[in-house]
């Protein structure tokens, strides 16, 4: 007899999670609560209600979390100019802490004994969901069906549905790739992408045109920053999720945001994936541009030095950890004067910074100029500066040391 009476499931309404609902009911003889989050995946989430009801679910949570997702997770991450392994903008990784938090909150609200998710035993998401859950509720029971059942293929899942009369849509033309989407990105894995040599098919991409098919005329946009976050586009104030929605559209139309990478998963294997992050690609370039005129040199270099560690923390699932909180406090402290406007030129897959201005700029034209500076900078000072910095090199060379 299972001691699990009620489970909160992260539920999309797709094949895997529909099977999981019935499997939990059959295996644990428990009540299932479903939680479906709208974080901008581009598909209607309300149909998940009818699907859950058809499976006998009584408590159904469907929530629009788009603004919270961008405001409290995406924006804080971009203040650090975060990139994993030089390319990945962490679109999937940054969505998991929010989902984990709501799973635990709903479990507390409903008196559930456990939470459950549809992440496989080979991927990073199982780690991210569960690290977050344990950090927020240490004694929570986590049920990960992919680590327990033997339904390890689409054919077996479909057979399970047929045996138990589980309604599953069989859409014609549905993408064969394993996909994950939210307001920040969409990812593609599986099928021919499992061969790192195989080029991704053009019709796989959903959010962007091919750069060669983008408009022949460039698009110019201006982003207004306040304390490191974008608050307006072309002078129009927007909420965080509206900013990202708008940038996704304009970037995608200009062929911006596609990457094809092989990354190192936390569980140990290498994985090839393709990602579309149109708006995020613009955000990264623009944020570095506004910081270039508003941040002190050593502060900027310190941020750059800790960024890879911060990226690993998020990628590996440690958003709800003391090290992420400590890093975030430092990062957020640096953003006090990151205010101003960045002008960008978007053209055939490229994001070019063509202007930046700020009332908090540290760029001093009187000092930086190549023309007469009226004594703002004494060039003779450079001689002593150079000699002092060369002192250790000169001493070593005088002792006959070789480089």
pTM above 0.85, yes or no: yes
Cβ(312)–Cβ(179) under 8 Å? no
**Rounded distance between C-alpha atoms, residue 12 and residue 47, angstroms:** 10
pLDDT, residue 276, reads 98
pLDDT, residue 170, reads 61
Per-residue pLDDT of the chain (403 residues; tens, 9 = 90+): 478 999 999 999 888 999 999 999 999 999 999 999 999 998 889 989 999 999 999 999 999 999 999 999 999 999 999 999 999 999 999 999 999 999 999 999 999 999 999 999 999 999 999 999 999 999 999 999 999 999 988 889 999 999 988 887 765 556 788 899 999 999 999 999 999 999 999 999 999 999 999 999 999 999 999 999 999 999 999 999 999 999 999 999 999 999 999 999 999 999 999 999 999 999 999 999 999 999 999 999 999 999 999 999 999 999 999 999 999 999 999 999 999 999 999 999 999 999 999 999 999 988 888 888 888 888 999 999 999 999 999 999 999 998 7
Token code pair at residue 296: 């002190």
Token code pair at residue 193: 């992408």
* Cα atoms in the 13 Å half-sphere on the side-chain side of 321: 15
Enzyme catalytic residues: 16, 96, 125, 178
Cβ(224)–Cβ(55) under 8 Å? no
pLDDT, residue 1, reads 46
> What are the backbone dihedrals phi and psi of residue 265, each rounded to the nearest 5 degrees, phi first?
-70, 155
* Cα atoms in the 13 Å half-sphere on the side-chain side of 257: 33
Rounded alpha-carbon distances, angstroms, from residue 288 to 138, 294, 324:
38, 10, 21
> 10 Å Cβ neighbour count for 359?
8
Fold match between domain 6-66+90-164 and domain 178-295+334-357: no
**CATH code matching the domain that covers 178-295+334-357, chosen among 2.60.120.380, 3.90.1260.10, 3.40.50.720, 3.40.30.10:** 3.90.1260.10
Token code pair at residue 201: 């098919």
pLDDT, residue 167, reads 81
Q: Which residue stretches of 147-277 are H helix?
A: 154-164, 240-253
**CATH code matching the domain that covers 6-66+90-164, chosen among 3.30.70.141, 3.40.50.2300, 3.40.50.620, 2.40.30.160:** 3.40.50.620
pLDDT, residue 371, reads 86
Domain spans, the chain: 6-66+90-164, 178-295+334-357, 371-398
Q: In angstroms, how far is CA 279 from the centroid of its own chain? A: 11
Beta strands 31-38; 6-10: pairing state:
parallel
């Amino acid at each position: 007899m299972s001691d699990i009476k009620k489970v909160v499931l992260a539920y999309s309404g797709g094949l895997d999670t529909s099977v999981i609902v019935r499997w939990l009911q059959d295996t644990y003889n428990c009540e299932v609560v479903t939680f479906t989050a709208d974080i901008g995946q581009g598909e209607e989430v309300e149909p998940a209600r009818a699907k859950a009801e058809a499976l006998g679910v009584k408590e159904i949570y469907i929530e629009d979390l788009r603004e919270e997702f961008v405001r409290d997770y995406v924006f804080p991450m971009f203040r650090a100019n975060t990139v994993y392994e030089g390319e990945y903008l962490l679109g999937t990784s940054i969505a998991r802490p929010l989902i984990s938090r709501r799973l635990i909150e709903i479990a507390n609200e409903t008196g559930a004994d456990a939470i459950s998710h549809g992440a496989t035993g080979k991927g990073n998401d199982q780690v991210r969901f569960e690290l977050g859950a344990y950090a927020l509720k240490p004694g929570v029971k986590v049920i990960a069906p992919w680590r327990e059942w033997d339904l390890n293929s689409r054919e077996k899942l479909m057979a399970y549905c047929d045996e138990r009369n589980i309604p599953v849509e069989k859409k014609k033309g549905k993408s064969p790739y394993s996909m994950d989407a939210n307001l920040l990105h969409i990812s593609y894995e599986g099928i021919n992408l499992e061969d790192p040599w195989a080029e991704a098919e053009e019709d796989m991409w959903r959010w962007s045109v091919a750069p060669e098919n983008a408009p022949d005329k460039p698009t110019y946009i201006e982003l207004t920053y306040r304390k490191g976050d974008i608050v307006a586009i072309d002078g129009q104030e927007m909420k965080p999720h509206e900013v990202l929605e708008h940038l996704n559209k304009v970037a995608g139309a200009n062929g911006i945001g596609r990457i094809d990478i092989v990354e190192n998963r936390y569980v140990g294997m290498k994985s090839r994936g393709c990602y579309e992050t149109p708006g995020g690609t613009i955000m990264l370039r623009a944020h570095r541009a506004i910081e270039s005129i508003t941040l002190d040199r050593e502060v900027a270099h310190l941020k750059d030095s800790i960024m890879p560690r911060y990226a690993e923390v998020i990628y590996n699932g440690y958003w709800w950890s003391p090290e992420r909180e400590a890093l975030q406090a430092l990062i957020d402290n640096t953003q006090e004067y990151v205010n101003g406007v960045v002008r960008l030129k978007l053209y055939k897959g490229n994001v070019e910074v063509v202007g930046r201005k700020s009332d908090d700029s540290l760029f001093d034209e009187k000092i930086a100029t190549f023309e007469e500076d009226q004594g703002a900078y004494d060039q003779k000072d450079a001689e002593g500066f150079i000699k002092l910095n060369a002192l250790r090199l000169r001493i070593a060379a005088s002792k006959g040391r070789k480089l």
